[in-house]
Structure 1
Amino acid sequence: MSTEYPPFRLGKPRYDQSTFEGRLRHFFDVIDPRTLFTSKEKLQSCIKLLDDFDKGRIPPTVSDRELWEAQKIKQAIIHPDTGEKIFMPFRMSGFVPFGSPMVVGLLLPNQTIATTVFWQWINQSHNACVNYSNRNATSPTPMSRFLLGYTGAVTTAVSIAVSLNVLIKKANKFSPATKLLIQKFVPFPAVACASTCNLLLMRNSELTTGIEIEDHNGNVIGKSQVAARKALTETAITRMLMPAPILVIPPLIMSMLEKTVLLKRYPRVHLPIHATIVTACFGLALPVAIAIFPQYSKISTSSLEPEIQKLTSEKTLIYNKGL
């Protein structure tokens, strides 16, 4: 894909979202941590530049690159529905730098029940705050639904992690070294199941009310339960796959590095090396997982409800599956 800046389109992605590469590049922009250091003055200038563009008042000297960069910064900091700044730790651009210490904590060796509960709780709390801060706010979300999803995610994560750790410790057929190795992979099923549980509890109303589907001109045709099931299925798959590279690859790499002379001679470098590997995996795995499915997906009109089919002659319609 060309690295040149295409003609600027306000509110539209810079990269082609019909391809995996385009979606991957887009989400690398979304999680770019450099936007966390944007000054108040820079943010205001970006907002003004985009406002001037919308009103047709920008000078011809302003380049497409400046416009795309301004939009990237605004979208990283300002909530699109509320127009308010998102608290830095809960921005998508802050998910990796602020979430990595929690993942490192989840993967620390020799976990006790207390530390397992603590790290699963704090990780799910951060995830819940990120989800809420980046929610679709065009219609109000009851706080009770947020609390239900949060409680379900924490309960699921803690229950699975503690249960697996207890079972592993009681298993007599494993050597102590094998038990320690297996324990390193416990966070993955706990986090994957908790993320899926959170999604289903937060968005289960979509299965009964349906989600909006649009034609290719952006006109809302109606609400479809069929599209809602497809959207939730795709999002659930993403939520289950997302933690895999983050919580599986680092333990594998560390298991190999722990046998090297470096870590045997200098055990104090274990934590910084571990943290570096986790952060690298986090930064790469997150956009890859989110980019698997398009956020705005097509669905065959013939597979939708009969009442929807009567409202349009288009063969395919579009729905927003969410993130």
Structure 2
Amino acid sequence: MNDLVINLKTKPDISKPQWDQRTYYGRVRHFFTLTNPLTLFSSETRQEKCREIVTNYRKGIISDQLTVNELWRAKALYDATYHPDSGEKMFFLGRMSAQMPGNMLINGMLLSLYRTFPGVVFSHWINQSFNAVVNYTNRSGNVKTSNERLLLSYLCATGGAMSAALALNAMVKNNHGLAARLVPFAAIALANAINIPMMRSNEITDGMELKDENDNLVGRSRKMAVLSIAQVTMSRIAMAMPYMVMTPIIMNRITRTAYYRTRLWMQKYSEIPIQTVLAGIGLYFTTPLCCALFPQKSAIEVTKLEPASQNEIFSRADAPEVVFYNKGL
């Protein structure tokens, strides 16, 4: 892997991830790289250098000092920092590499501040604000969403999460056991089911971008937009399930121990840090494992699209038989 790229007869194809995306294992390896929190701390100079390496390589401009390892490392940082369709640098809090540290802190609050009205409102407001940034940053294609639609999506998701949490809290208000601790997960699942479809609703109305093998836009499909949004929603809920369910179970067990009950300082100060650390450990694994459930970029035969999309594509002189789309993350 330290071979010089310029000397290779068959050069690496960086239009695709380093690992086979047709297999779950290959997608997991790719997303462990993509969601690596350490990429957030890379310098502007390093990011720009990697962008230059990748863009030049795509144009056939290859440094005579560039090794295969350096190429793939540059591609990994480029993928973690720049949007795969637009090529624009993503806001750092919206990158998938920010999922673990960002959600670790937020979920520590969600799991610890679920008993009071101010705690529910504040923690779910912070969570949905973060989710809105992530969902918008990782939307599919060069999609432009109006400010009005963004605000409506944000308000509906935040209101839905708060309403669900408050209603469920009222149902289990006299229960200080596991049922009450699982309220944040139920609220988050509902919020994801609202936030993601609404944030990307223009893809449903206008259609998702479809491209040929040369990355040229050839059409749009509402059918693929609905499928992609459903897959992303399922992935996000699955991503939250292990740590949002297992952490309350573990914490509920800890609070029943004699050691915990006989130490007032632990009862007062330990809940947030313990649950934050447990959420962070869970997120480190669930983020790439659940992002990999479905391929990010997929191919579909044009004949399997809805009639309107087929007509749009087949009306072209160079109509492809297979098109590709990015489902988003």
Question: Same fold judged by TM-score > 0.5?
Answer: yes
Larger mean CA deviation between 251-260 and 141-150 belongs to: 251-260
- 2:48 is aligned with 1:44: yes
Other-structure match for 1:280: 281
Extract unaligned runs of 5+ from structure 1.
170-175
Instruction: Confirm or deny: 8 A CA contact 1:82 1:137 kept in the other structure.
Output: yes
Q: Determine what percentage of the aligned residue pairs are the same residue.
A: 36
Instruction: Confirm or deny: 8 A CA contact 1:17 1:23 kept in the other structure.
Output: yes
Larger mean CA deviation between 133-142 and 78-87 belongs to: 78-87
Partner AA of 1:278 in structure 2: A
Extract unaligned runs of 5+ from structure 2.
none
Give the match's secondary structure for 2:133: helix
Superposed CA deviations along residues 184-231 of structure 1, whole A, max 9, x for unmatched, are 100111111111211221222333332233455545443223223322
Instruction: Confirm or deny: 8 A CA contact 1:109 1:180 kept in the other structure.
Output: no
Identify which of 94, 99, 102 aligns with 1:98.
Answer: 102
- 2:50 is aligned with 1:53: no
Partner AA of 1:240 in structure 2: I
Deviation of residue 110 (structure 1)? Answer: 6.2
Instruction: Confirm or deny: 8 A CA contact 2:112 2:275 kept in the other structure.
Output: no
Determine the C-alpha separation between the residues in 1 that align with 2:297 and 2:146: 25
Identify which of 231, 243, 247 aligns with 2:244.
Answer: 247
Deviation of residue 89 (structure 1)? Answer: 2.9
Superposition pairs for residues 171-182 of structure 1, below 5 Å? Answer: 178-182=175-179
Determine the C-alpha separation between the residues in 1 that align with 2:193 and 2:64: 48
Partner AA of 2:282 in structure 1: C
Quote the RMSD (CA, aligned, Å).
3.0
Give the match's secondary structure for 1:205: helix
Other-structure match for 1:322: 328
Partner AA of 1:238 in structure 2: S
Partner AA of 2:219 in structure 1: G
- 2:111 is aligned with 1:125: no
Other-structure match for 2:232: 235
Deviation of residue 24 (structure 1)? Answer: 1.3
1:20–1:306 Cα change, 3 Å: same
Deviation of residue 119 (structure 1)? Answer: 0.3
Superposition pairs for residues 70-149 of structure 1, below 5 Å? Answer: 70-79=74-83, 85-108=89-112, 111-136=115-140, 138-149=142-153
Give the match's secondary structure for 2:21: coil
Superposed CA deviations along residues 124-150 of structure 1, whole A, max 9, x for unmatched, are 011112223344562422111111111
Larger mean CA deviation between 251-260 and 286-295 belongs to: 251-260
- 2:39 is aligned with 1:35: yes
Other-structure match for 1:17: 21
1:198–1:317 Cα change, 3 Å: same
Give the match's secondary structure for 1:10: coil
Other-structure match for 2:191: 194
Instruction: Confirm or deny: 8 A CA contact 1:263 1:270 kept in the other structure.
Output: no
Determine which structure has greater relative contact order: mean sequence separation of CA pairs < 8 Å that are 6+ residues apart, divided by chain length.
Answer: 2
Determine the C-alpha separation between the residues in 1 that align with 2:137 and 2:320: 38
Other-structure match for 2:222: 225
Determine the C-alpha separation between the residues in 2 that align with 1:7 and 1:259: 59
Instruction: Confirm or deny: 8 A CA contact 1:221 1:308 kept in the other structure.
Output: no
Deviation of residue 50 (structure 1)? Answer: 2.8
Partner AA of 1:156 in structure 2: G
Determine the C-alpha separation between the residues in 1 that align with 2:96 and 2:283: 13
Determine the C-alpha separation between the residues in 2 that align with 1:220 and 1:137: 10
Deviation of residue 34 (structure 1)? Answer: 0.9
1:9–1:92 Cα change, 3 Å: same
Instruction: Confirm or deny: 8 A CA contact 1:110 1:180 kept in the other structure.
Output: no
Other-structure match for 1:172: none
Q: Could you state the TM-score of these two structures normalised by the residue count of structure 2?
A: 0.83
Instruction: Confirm or deny: 8 A CA contact 2:229 2:327 kept in the other structure.
Output: yes
Determine the C-alpha separation between the residues in 1 that align with 2:88 and 2:206: 28
Determine the C-alpha separation between the residues in 1 that align with 2:141 and 2:299: 23
1:206–1:47 Cα change, 3 Å: closer
1:55–1:84 Cα change, 3 Å: closer
Determine the C-alpha separation between the residues in 1 that align with 2:243 and 2:60: 45
- 2:204 is aligned with 1:185: no
Give the match's secondary structure for 1:130: helix
Other-structure match for 1:63: 67
Identify which of 254, 257, 263 aligns with 1:257.
Answer: 254
Determine the C-alpha separation between the residues in 2 that align with 1:45 and 1:320: 25
Partner AA of 1:289 in structure 2: C
Instruction: Confirm or deny: 8 A CA contact 1:31 1:93 kept in the other structure.
Output: yes
Instruction: Confirm or deny: 8 A CA contact 1:16 1:23 kept in the other structure.
Output: yes
Larger mean CA deviation between 256-265 and 181-190 belongs to: 256-265
